[in-house]
Amino acid sequence: MNILNEFIEVAGDPGAYARRIRASGRSVIGYYCSYAPEEIIHAAGLHPVRLFGTGGDSGIADRHLQAYCCSLVRGALAESLTGGLDYLEGTVFPHTCDSIQRLSDIWRLNTGHGFFADVVLPVKLTGESARQYLIDVLQRFKRDLESYFGLTVTEESLRSSIRTFNIIRSCLSEIYELKSRNPGILTGGELFSIVRASMVMDREVLRDRLQALLGELRERVTGRDGRGRRLMLVGNACNHPDVYDLIERSGGQVVWDDLCTGTRWFSGAIREEGDPVASIAERLFERQVCPSKHKSPTARGEHIAAQAREHGVEGVIFLYLKFCDPHSFDYPYLKGYLKDAGIPSMLLEIEDRLPPEGQILTRIETFIQMLVPGTGAAFTGASQTGREG
């Protein structure tokens, strides 16, 4: 499949792709979080790119950040300070966890990537005042972009961006659903490459490629149930394609996730009627919540347990970057909710690199072998579930 290869290529070197966009004369705006208002950046004619904080731990981050900071934040800063982000003409920091909050300050004071904006989202995503505030914040962001780049973001361009992003998100949701029903249709690593590339590619090109890929995948559906126990990944932004391979070699397969490089990022559609900025805000308000935001004390537990049941998940792997406060605080209770639903789980805490392969393989294998056989079987006959909406 040529389309698939294209995704794999982009995902393998997102920086190279972004540089090509830049060379074609378009400004590239980067961000580290799935709460970034990509649609507004796109509607402004700029190119939105998700960054992954893969600057490695060269030591340069030590000048600004202690060792007890997560590798995403450290890697992000290193990426910038070592010149790896020279293609950027701007960065956007949606407000989320305490570490990103301070990274934004350090970034503003020490790096120079042109346009800079803090999008100080509400922390509480419930109640009328927060809803209104979120709209106001996005309006401000739009004005900031307009005045810095000297352009106007028209209502029509916002609407058109919204339509593009809705198609992209619904394609990704459907690919996920297909993979859940027919796990052999794509490897976990392939699916992850698709998601990762989708955060980087030119969105019009992406929209067309995803639709074409989906067409091909629909054709291939029969007889591809795949082998292995049905697993779900839960965590922060996961940047480890090799984890999928390790899981598959251990007798498992990832059929669903709750990741910011997964369903948390693409779930939910934007209303195409009404005020476009308000509609963009509404989706951010209603989407699956990040643990650094508050919806209700039990929202994530209920959501994750429900998703696990819906997708016939036999076991959950929590994949956390070390030193991540919001996710670590949620872990004991999420584990409890899953336990109540009869779903076992394990925790893998990682830094920017995975631990030695032998060690991690043994742990995953042991976990998978302990899963009670047959629990996921009920799923094989599951009917066509509707797309996430």
Partner 1 sequence: MPQTDAEKKRKFRSARRMREIMTEYYIEAKTADQTGKKVAWITSGGPVEPLIAMDVIPVYPENYGAMIGASHMGGDLCAKAEALGYSTDLCSYARADIACALEDGGPIGGLPKPDMLVCCNNICGTVMKWYEIQARLYDVPLFIFDTPFCHVDFAEEARRYVRTQIDEYIGFLEGVCKKKFDFDRSMEVGRLSLKGQRLWQDVLDAAAYRPSPMTAFDAFFFLALIVTLRGTDKVVDFYTELLEEMKERVSQGISAVENERYRLLWDNLPVWYRLKWLSDTFAAHGACLVADTYTTAWCGSMKYIDENNFIDSMAEAYTRIYLNIGVDEMAKTIFAMIDKYEVDGLVMHSNRSCKPYSFGQYDIMRMVQEKKGIPCMMLESHMVDERSFSESQTLTRIDAFMEVIRQRGPRAGTAR
Would you say 34 or 253 has its CB closer to ligand SF4? Answer: 34
The amino acid occupying position 158 is: L
CB of 325 to ligand SF4, least distance (A): 6
80 binds partner 1 (CB under 8 A): no
Mapping DSSP to helix (H, G, I), strand (E, B) and coil, where does residue 211 land?
helix
Query: At 119, which helix (H) or strand (E)?
Result: strand 115-119
16 binds partner 1 (CB under 8 A): no
* Residue 35 interacting entry, from partner 1, ligand SF4, none, C-beta within 5 to 8 Å by type: ligand SF4
Q: Which of 330, 293, 350 is nearest to 70 (CA)?
A: 350
Would you say 270 or 289 has its CB closer to ligand SF4? Answer: 289
CB of 44 to ligand SF4, least distance (A): 21
C-alpha dihedral over 344, 335, 261, 226, to 10 degrees?
10
Cα 109 from chain centroid (whole Å): 27
Q: Which of 307, 329, 43, 309 is nearest to 160 (CA)?
A: 43
Lookup: tokens for 289: 């919540």
The set of long-range contacts for 351-354, using a CB threshold of 8 Å and a minimum separation of 24, is 351/57, 351/71, 351/321, 351/322, 352/54, 352/56, 352/57, 352/71, 352/74, 352/75, 352/321, 354/240, 354/242, 354/243, 354/246
CB of 320 to ligand SF4, least distance (A): 8
| Residues contributing to the site for ligand SF4 (CB under 6 A) | 33-35, 70, 72-73, 96-97, 99-100, 236-237, 260, 290, 292, 321, 324-327
Would you say 102 or 387 has its CB closer to ligand SF4? Answer: 102
Q: What are phi and psi of 216, to 5 degrees?
A: -65, -40
Contact segment (CB under 8 A) with partner 1 among 66-74, 192-200, 204-212, 270-278 equals 66-74
Would you say 170 or 267 has its CB closer to ligand SF4? Answer: 267
Would you say 86 or 98 has its CB closer to partner 1? Answer: 98
Using CB under 8 A, pick the residue from 199, 335, 343, 350 that binds partner 1: 335
Site residues (CB under 8 A) for partner 1? 63-66, 68-69, 95, 97-99, 101-106, 108-110, 118, 120, 122-124, 127, 129-130, 132-133, 136-137, 140, 291-292, 294, 297-298, 322-323, 325-326, 328-333, 335, 347, 349
